[in-house]
Structure 1
Amino acid sequence: MESPTGPFAPGDTVTARGEQWKVSSADRFAGCAVITLDGTGASNAGVRSTLIAPFDTIAKVVSGKPLRRSRSSTLRIARAAIASARPACGIWTAAAAKVDLLAYQLEPALAVLAGATRVLLADAVGLGKTIQAGLILTELLARGLVDRALILTPAGLRDTWAAELRNRFDLRPIVFDQASVATALHGLPAGVNPWASHAIVIASIDLVKRPEVLATVEGAPFDLVIADEAHHLTPGSDRGAAVERLASRAPWVVLASATPHSGDDAAFNYLTRIGGSGDRITVFRRTRHEVGAGMGRRVHLLAVTPSGAESRMLRAAEAYARAIWNGVGQRDRGARLLAILLARRAASSATALERTLTRRLHLLSGRDDPAAEQASLPWEDAEEGDGDVPAELLGAAGFDDRASEQCVLEELVAAATAARHHASKIRLIARLIRRVREPAVIFTEYRDTLDALVEALGGGHRIRTLHGGLSAGLRHLALSAFTHGDADLLIATDTAGEGLNLHHRCRLVIDVELPWNPRRLEQRVGRVDRLGQTRRVHAIRLLHRGTVEETVLARLERRRIRAAAALDGEPDAWFGEEDVAAAALGAAGWPSRAPARLASAVVVAAAAEVERVARQRAGGSMRAARRAVLSLPRHPARAAARMLLLYHLRSVGPLGRTADESLRALLVELSHRPTTRRDWQARIADLDRDPRVRAVLAHEGLRHAAEIDSQLAALREAVRQRVQVIRDRLHRTLPRELQPSMFDRRVERGAILHQQAIARLDAALRRRIDAVTPAAPPTVPRPVLTAAWPLEV
Structure 2
Amino acid sequence: MNAIDLRTGDLVQARGREWIVLGLPEEGLIRVRPLSGSEEDAQVIAPALEIMSVTPARFAPPSADEPDTQDGARLLADALRLSLRRGAGPFRSAAHLGVEPRAYQLVPMLMALRLETKRLLIADDVGIGKTIEAGMILREMIDRGEVDRFTVLCPPHLVDQWVGELAEKFDIDAVAVTSSRARSLERGLALSESIFDAYPYTVVSLDYIKSDNRRDSFAHACPDFVIVDEAHSCVGGSERGTQQRFALLERLAEKPERHMLLLTATPHSGNQDAYGRLLGLIDADLADAPGGADSNALERYRRRLAQHFVQRRRPDIEEAWGDGSAFARAHSREAPFQLTGDFQNFQEDVLDYCVGVTTNADGDSARRLAFWGTLALMRCVGSSPAAAASALRNRLGGMAEEEALEPVLFDDDEGMLSDTDVEPATALAGEEREQISRLISQAEKLADRVDEDPKFLMLVKQLKALEKENARTVVFCRFISTADAVGEALRKIFRKHRIEVVTGRLTPEERRERVDDMGDDDRRILVATDCLSEGINLQKLFNAVIHYDLNWNPTRHQQREGRVDRFGQPAKDVWSVMMFGANSMIDGAVIQVITDKADRIREALGVTVPVPEDSASVTSALMQAVLLKSERHRSQGMFDFGEADAQLEVEWRNAEDSAKKSQARYAQGALKPAEVLPEWQRLRALNGGPEEVERFARRALSRLEAPLDTTGKHPRVHYDRLPTQLRERMEARGFTGSRAVSFADDPEPDVTHVGRVHPLVAILAETLAEGALDPGGTREIEPLGRCGTWRTRAVESVTTVMLLRLRFTLTVSGRRTLLAEEATALAFRRGEEQPFATGAEALALLEQEATGNIERIAIERQVGEALNRLDDYEQAIATFAHERAEALREDHDRVKAAMRGEGATTEVESALPADVIGLYVLVPEIA
The TM-score normalised by the length of structure 1 is 0.69
CA distance in structure 1 between the aligned counterparts of 2:877 and 2:582, rounded to whole angstroms: 86
Matched, 1:608 2:672: no
Is the CA contact (8 Å cut-off) linking 1:94 and 1:101 kept in structure 2? Answer: no
1:673-715: CA deviations, max 9, x gaps? 99xxx999999969999xxxx9x99999999999999999989
Determine which of 550, 558, 583 is the counterpart of 2:588: 550
* CA-CA distance at 1:388 after TM superposition: 5.5
Matched, 1:112 2:119: no
**Where do 1:390-401 residues align within 5 Å?**
394=426
Determine which of 232, 246, 259 is the counterpart of 1:252: 259
Please name the residue that 1:384 is paired with: 419
* CA-CA distance at 1:331 after TM superposition: 9.2
Query: Secondary structure at 1:314's aligned position in 2?
Result: helix
Please name the residue that 2:665 is paired with: 599
* CA-CA distance at 1:413 after TM superposition: 4.7
- Greater relative contact order (Cα 8 A, min sep 6): structure 1 or 2? 1
CA distance in structure 2 between the aligned counterparts of 1:266 and 1:321, rounded to whole angstroms: 37
CA distance in structure 2 between the aligned counterparts of 1:126 and 1:705, rounded to whole angstroms: 31
Determine which of 525, 544, 563 is the counterpart of 1:489: 525
**Where do 1:498-517 residues align within 5 Å?**
498-517=534-553
Is the CA contact (8 Å cut-off) linking 1:324 and 1:336 kept in structure 2? Answer: yes
Query: Secondary structure at 2:343's aligned position in 1?
Result: helix
Stretch deviating more after TM superposition (498-507 or 11-20): 11-20
1:29-66: CA deviations, max 9, x gaps? 7xx636264x664xx36766344435788956456999
Please name the residue that 1:154 is paired with: 155
Query: Secondary structure at 2:181's aligned position in 1?
Result: helix
* CA-CA distance at 1:249 after TM superposition: 4.6
**Where do 1:451-462 residues align within 5 Å?**
451-461=484-494, 462=498
Query: Secondary structure at 2:25's aligned position in 1?
Result: strand
2:573 partner amino acid: R
Please name the residue that 2:232 is paired with: 231
Matched, 1:241 2:401: no
Q: Quick check: which one's helix share is greater?
A: 2
* CA-CA distance at 1:93 after TM superposition: 0.3
Number of paired residues? Answer: 656
Please name the residue that 2:741 is paired with: none
CA distance in structure 2 between the aligned counterparts of 1:231 and 1:241, rounded to whole angstroms: 10
CA distance in structure 1 between the aligned counterparts of 2:363 and 2:345, rounded to whole angstroms: 24
1:13 partner amino acid: L
* CA-CA distance at 1:275 after TM superposition: 5.7
Cα 1:64–1:220 shift into 2, 3 Å: closer
**Where do 1:259-338 residues align within 5 Å?**
259-274=266-281, 276-278=283-285, 282-289=308-315, 290=317, 291-292=323-324, 293-315=326-348, 320=354, 338=373
Cα 1:63–1:21 shift into 2, 3 Å: closer
Query: Secondary structure at 1:455's aligned position in 2?
Result: helix
Is the CA contact (8 Å cut-off) linking 1:226 and 1:254 kept in structure 2? Answer: yes
Cα 1:61–1:467 shift into 2, 3 Å: farther
Query: Secondary structure at 2:550's aligned position in 1?
Result: coil
* CA-CA distance at 1:364 after TM superposition: 3.5
1:384-419: CA deviations, max 9, x gaps? 222364x7xx45x8xxxx567778766755654454
CA distance in structure 2 between the aligned counterparts of 1:362 and 1:699, rounded to whole angstroms: 77
Stretch deviating more after TM superposition (317-326 or 172-181): 317-326
Cα 1:235–1:253 shift into 2, 3 Å: farther
Matched, 1:520 2:568: no
Query: Secondary structure at 1:219's aligned position in 2?
Result: helix
Query: Secondary structure at 1:459's aligned position in 2?
Result: helix
Is the CA contact (8 Å cut-off) linking 2:225 and 2:259 kept in structure 1? Answer: yes
CA distance in structure 2 between the aligned counterparts of 1:114 and 1:418, rounded to whole angstroms: 65
Is the CA contact (8 Å cut-off) linking 1:223 and 1:252 kept in structure 2? Answer: yes
1:186-226: CA deviations, max 9, x gaps? 21122211232211111222222233343442331321221
2:447 partner amino acid: R
Cα 1:112–1:491 shift into 2, 3 Å: same
Matched, 1:479 2:477: no
CA distance in structure 1 between the aligned counterparts of 2:443 and 2:912, rounded to whole angstroms: 82
Please name the residue that 1:191 is paired with: 192
Structure 1, unaligned runs of 5 or more: 68-72, 370-380, 627-633, 635-645, 663-672, 717-773, 788-793
**Where do 1:34-433 residues align within 5 Å?**
35=31, 37=33, 41=36, 44=37, 49-54=42-47, 59=54, 61=56, 90-115=90-115, 117-233=118-234, 234-237=236-239, 238-239=241-242, 240-241=245-246, 243-245=248-250, 247-249=252-254, 251-274=258-281, 276-278=283-285, 282-289=308-315, 290=317, 291-292=323-324, 293-315=326-348, 320=354, 338=373, 340-364=375-399, 383-387=418-422, 389=424, 394=426, 402=429, 413=440, 416-417=443-444, 419-421=446-448, 423-433=453-463
Query: Secondary structure at 1:477's aligned position in 2?
Result: helix
Cα 1:7–1:496 shift into 2, 3 Å: farther
1:224 partner amino acid: F
Stretch deviating more after TM superposition (479-488 or 679-688): 679-688
Query: Secondary structure at 1:519's aligned position in 2?
Result: helix
Query: Secondary structure at 2:564's aligned position in 1?
Result: coil
Query: Secondary structure at 1:225's aligned position in 2?
Result: strand
Stretch deviating more after TM superposition (98-107 or 547-556): 547-556
CA distance in structure 2 between the aligned counterparts of 1:483 and 1:686, rounded to whole angstroms: 54
CA distance in structure 2 between the aligned counterparts of 1:386 and 1:181, rounded to whole angstroms: 27
Cα 1:207–1:383 shift into 2, 3 Å: farther
Matched, 1:658 2:724: no
CA distance in structure 1 between the aligned counterparts of 2:53 and 2:561, rounded to whole angstroms: 54
Percent identity between matched residues is 24
Please name the residue that 1:532 is paired with: 569
1:238-285: CA deviations, max 9, x gaps? 143354245425512222223333444444333333464446582322
Is the CA contact (8 Å cut-off) linking 2:332 and 2:577 kept in structure 1? Answer: yes
Please name the residue that 1:11 is paired with: 9
1:608 partner amino acid: E
Cα 1:191–1:418 shift into 2, 3 Å: same
CA distance in structure 1 between the aligned counterparts of 2:673 and 2:896, rounded to whole angstroms: 21
Matched, 1:468 2:504: yes
1:286 partner amino acid: R
1:408-463: CA deviations, max 9, x gaps? 76675565445434543223223433454353211112212212213322334432
CA distance in structure 2 between the aligned counterparts of 1:295 and 1:355, rounded to whole angstroms: 39
Query: Secondary structure at 1:105's aligned position in 2?
Result: helix
CA distance in structure 1 between the aligned counterparts of 2:224 and 2:339, rounded to whole angstroms: 55
Cα 1:120–1:659 shift into 2, 3 Å: farther
Stretch deviating more after TM superposition (219-228 or 267-276): 267-276
CA distance in structure 2 between the aligned counterparts of 1:500 and 1:474, rounded to whole angstroms: 11
CA distance in structure 1 between the aligned counterparts of 2:557 and 2:618, rounded to whole angstroms: 14
Cα 1:471–1:64 shift into 2, 3 Å: closer
Is the CA contact (8 Å cut-off) linking 2:602 and 2:609 kept in structure 1? Answer: no
1:652-673: CA deviations, max 9, x gaps? 67775539999xxxxxxxxxx9
CA distance in structure 1 between the aligned counterparts of 2:674 and 2:18, rounded to whole angstroms: 36
CA distance in structure 2 between the aligned counterparts of 1:14 and 1:647, rounded to whole angstroms: 14
1:268 partner amino acid: Y
Is the CA contact (8 Å cut-off) linking 2:215 and 2:248 kept in structure 1? Answer: no
CA distance in structure 1 between the aligned counterparts of 2:356 and 2:282, rounded to whole angstroms: 40
CA distance in structure 1 between the aligned counterparts of 2:545 and 2:523, rounded to whole angstroms: 15
Please name the residue that 1:584 is paired with: 622
Is the CA contact (8 Å cut-off) linking 1:467 and 1:492 kept in structure 2? Answer: yes
* CA-CA distance at 1:552 after TM superposition: 3.9
